[in-house]
Amino acid sequence: MIALVVLAVGLLAVGRMFPTGARSQEQDRLLTSANYFAQEKVESLTGRSWADPLLADGRHPAGTATESFGERAMDAFYQVTTLMESSTT
């Protein structure tokens, strides 16, 4: 009887790990997809002139629009910010 109780407690503990593992796997998949999107954007923007509208300060696409990517049609946008060069004298 004691062995059955110990076994049941052990099985319940192992069973609680499955939802946590599935949640972690989904977060990793989303992070991988976001990294892939960022890499694609950097590659598409590399080599453009500084006057290109895609490199203008602000949110791209503008407003509340988003770009779809990935198998599950995730929506994304990117933000461009000009870094100011600090002058030291």
* Residue 17: predicted pLDDT: 81
- Average pLDDT of the chain is 83
Is the model's pLDDT at 87 over the cut of 70? no
Is the model's pLDDT at 10 over the cut of 60? yes
The distance of Cα 44 from the centroid of its chain, to the nearest Å, equals: 18
As a whole number, mean pLDDT of residues 75-86 equals: 80
* Torsion sign over Cα 34, 75, 46, 60: negative
Q: Which residues contact 66 (CB under 8 A, 6 or more apart)?
A: 75, 76, 77
* Residue 4: predicted pLDDT: 92
pLDDT tens readout for residues 29-69: 888 888 888 898 889 888 888 888 888 888 888 877 777 77
Whether pTM > 0.75 for this model: the answer is: no
